[in-house]
Structure 1
Amino acid sequence: MQAISRDPSPPSTTLGYALFATRWLQAPLYFGLVAAQGVYVYKFFNELWTLVLRCVTGRATETYVMLAVLKLVDVVMIANLLIMVIVGGYETFVSRIGLQGHRDQPEWLSHVNSNVLKVKLATAIVGISSVHLLQMFVDVHHTSRHALLWGTVIHMAFIASAAILAYMSGPMAAQSERGHQQGQHGGASAPAAAQEPAAKVFVPAQAAASRHDDAPSTEERLRAAGFPSRKLLEEFDSEHPHSFDRETVARLGKLDFVAAHRNVVFVGPPGTGKTHLAVGLGVRACQAGHSVRFATAEEWAARLAGARDAGRLAEELSALDEHAVLIVDEVGYTPFDAGTAGLFFQLIAHRYERSSLVVTTDRPLGRWDEIFGGPSALAMVDRLAHHAELVRIDGESYRMRRVGGAWAD
């Protein structure tokens, strides 16, 4: 009875979901814009055909050619504006499109929101207005002074509006981010925090209380991650490995594994790109707002051993919970004794179903007893692999391929 009396939310929740579902009413509007895009494709080729015919028949003056080309540019720019409205608007207001990891994904789509979309549209409109104004000045002999004056005034108004919108979007985005951080970390009571969705990254109470209201910027997160170099998933040479699961890596690029607190294990010989992929996922996670830490297995071993010797291993493991992703690179390159194996077991067991690990290794998990002495190797692999994506990469060393000719000589 107590649970029933404390939960008056189902009707309001149902109403909220129903209202939220009305966003799908906008979907036909975006399909209508797709049809308008088709109209502009027809207009483009119609104008192009007319231009070609007049040039072939010798009836095209230099001014006409310039004006016709500007019309084609104008059509293309309006089509680009439509694409931004269709893709960005649908992504922001209707449903996630889920193109993360695709090599052709535009840079702005990875962090699209209403502010970004409005600024992009404003700058596109300024560009279109510039082309229209240029057309008027090119055909100045057939354009009245009144039209030139008002064309210039309207263009300057577009520029001023875009500048003001861009200036206002920065403080608005910062205010929204501060409000989000305060609502998530600053004022939630313990029961409310316990009822948060499972998709949120686990952060202990003491770590949350120590955070500032302003979240670190992407650049700050990238610097703090400790990457040896910044590698992007899009830069990976997927044609080099003999065997490589591109679809799995593309899916991992969506970062769903971070929200689900799953692990990723890249297995393959040296030089096949395991570290590149691990760093690429880490960079992608930093860009998405997650905290990431990178270190080699030997560096993690030294860090954990130092905490153990100082009598603060439990505090160190809890502090690492603040990071949504830990990257452990080069597992297997250096064998560890039973004591170090126990430290790695505690790290993996502590993060089990709580936060994500990304591991690179040159040996299958079934042979980790060769790396970690003692009985903890099997229990370690059991917890690591239970909720993990295993990506096998087979092939020759990318680095040795570049010097192979010199060695052969």
Structure 2
Amino acid sequence: MFTEIDHQKFRNLRITHVATRFEELISDEANDELTPEQIFLTAVDDALDQRQAHRIDKLIRAAKFPIPQASIAEINYQEGRGITPVRMKRYAGHNWRQDPTNLLVLSPTGGGKTYLACAIGIAACQNGHTVTYARMDELARRLVIARGDGIRHQKMLNDLSDVELLIIDDFLTVGIDPEAANDLFAVLANREHRLPTMIASQSRPAYWLEALPDRVAADSIVNRLANNAREINLGEVDMRRQRDDQARATTGYWE
């Protein structure tokens, strides 16, 4: 068994997970037939898997998804939603670093946009991508608050500009002020041709042009978001109502 001095050596080498797993494996009688080399390599593989799992968990926490358990495997593909398992499998394995094409997820309220956006974003984290999720109204509010501190404000703009996948949900469900629109323009201009942005909205680009406070900025923002973007149109299926109806039908439900 390893001594405390041995463990300190492993800590200095930053391979404590390998050492811990190796000690567990050699203590297991089920591994008596394995060679030391086989046990060591198994410990290395297990430690790498653990490190990868921790990195994925960290990426998911940092993204701040409102539905952190969302999964592409659990998406409802009923008729009328405009999505298929094959198409979503492509998004699950997509390399967002290499393809800066934006993605628009569109449907009326209750269509499941947020769940879908979270599921795609979580799949991106599982592939090692950095992701930031934000609701448009909350993002605008954070930008307004940060504007009082020039350094903090610039750091926020830089972070939004450089994250590998930026997800903005509830896009223009409520209006934003001109300064927030200017910040949005700066972020999108910095991301253009470099990194993709996902927009989830219950309205289409034609409405965004009318809703943004400055027409010139609106043209630039919508042009950067919508030109050559991929689009998922979830149709008119109200997933929220279906979920609520299913809940009412379960045993023990009362209101």
> What is the TM-score when the length of structure 1 is the normalising length?
0.47
Separation (CA, whole Å) in 1 of partners of 2:202 and 2:38: 52
Q: 1:282 aligns with which of 113, 121, 124?
A: 121
Contact in 2 for aligned 1:264/1:357 (Cα 8 Å):
yes
Of all paired residues, the percent bearing the same amino acid is: 25
Report whether the alignment pairs 1:226 with 2:226.
no
Structure 2 residue 106 is the aligned partner of structure 1 residue 267: yes
Alignment partners' CA distance in 2, 1:154 and 1:378: 67
Q: What are the residue-to-residue correspondences of 1:98-177 with 2, within 5 Å?
A: 156-158=32-34, 163-170=39-46, 173=48
Match of residue 293 from structure 1: 132
Whole-angstrom distance in 1 between the partners of 2:74 and 2:53:
28
Shift of 1:218: 1.1
Query: Is contact 2:208–2:218 with CA below 8 Å preserved after alignment?
Result: yes
**Paired residue type of 1:268:** S
Relative distance call for 1:302 and 1:254 in structure 2 (3 A) is same
Query: Does structure 1 conserve the Cα–Cα contact (< 8 Å) formed by 2:172 and 2:211?
Result: yes
Q: CA deviation at 1:378?
A: 1.9
Once the 2 structures are TM-superposed, how far is the Cα of residue 262 of structure 1 from its aligned partner?
2.0
What SS is found at the alignment partner of 1:259?
A: coil
Q: Provide closer, same or farther for how the CA distance between residues 243 and 220 of structure 1 changes in structure 2, counting only shifts above 3 A.
A: closer
Aligned to 1:244: 82
1:383 maps to amino acid:
R
Deviates more, 1:386-395 or 1:274-283: 386-395
Cross-structure match for 1:192: none
Matches of 2:225 and 2:139, distance apart in 1: 16
Q: Evaluate the alpha carbon distance shift between residue 154 and residue 299 of structure 1 in structure 2; reply closer, same or farther with a 3 A threshold.
A: closer
Number of aligned positions between the proteins: 214
The residue number in structure 2 matching 1:317 is 157
Superposed displacement of residue 399, structure 1? 1.5
- 1:112 is matched with none
Q: Is the CA contact 1:263–1:357 (under 8 Å) kept in the aligned structure 2?
A: yes
- CA 1:264 to 1:258, structure 2 compared with 1: closer, same or farther past 3 Å? farther
Q: Of residues 190, 201, 204 in structure 2, which corresponds to 1:364?
A: 204
Quote how far apart the aligned CAs of 1:404 are: 4.9
Indicate the SS of the match to 1:358. Answer: strand
Residues 268-292 of structure 1: CA deviation (Å, up to 9, x unaligned): 1112121111111111111111111
Q: Structure 1 CA distance, aligned partners of 2:30 and 2:156?
A: 61
Alignment correspondent of 1:345: 185
Runs of 4+ displaced beyond 6 Å = none
Contact residue 162 and residue 195 of structure 2 kept, 8 A? no
Give 1 or 2 for the bigger CA radius of gyration: 1
Distance in 2 separating the partners of 1:293 and 1:364:
22
- The answer to whether the 8 A contact 1:305-1:343 is kept is no
Written as runs of structure 1 = structure 2, the 5 A alignment for 1:43-58 is: none
Q: Deviation at 1:365?
A: 1.1
Quote how far apart the aligned CAs of 1:348 are: 1.3
Q: Which amino acid aligns with 2:186?
A: Q
**Which secondary structure state, in structure 2, belongs to the residue aligned with residue 305 of structure 1?**
helix
Residue type of the partner of 2:62?
Answer: A
Gaps of 5+ in 2: 1-28, 249-255
TM-score of the superposed pair, with normalisation by structure 2:
0.73
Q: Which whole-Å deviations, capped at 9, do the CAs of 1:108-167 have from their partners, x for residues lacking one?
A: xxxxxxxxxxxxxxxxxxxxxxxxxxxxxxxxxxxxxxxxxxxxx998415987644321
Relative to structure 1, the CA distance from residue 161 to residue 394 in structure 2 (aligned partners, 3 Å threshold; closer, same or farther) is: same
Q: Which of these residues, 325, 329, 334, is aligned with residue 169 of structure 2?
A: 329
Contact 1:257 1:263 in 2 (8 A): no
Aligned ranges 1:28-67 → 2 under 5 Å: none
SS in 1 for 2:156: helix
- 1:237 is paired with a residue whose SS is coil
In angstroms, what is the RMSD of aligned CA positions? 3.0
Q: For the structure 1 residues 160 and 272, does the alpha-carbon distance in structure 2 shift closer, same or farther, using more than 3 Å as the test?
A: farther
1:236 touches 1:273 (CA, 8 Å); kept in 2?
Answer: no
Residues 168 and 199 in structure 2, CA contact (< 8 A), matched pair in contact too: yes
Could you say which residue in structure 2 is the equivalent of 1:307? 146
Distance 1:154 1:346, change over 3 A: closer
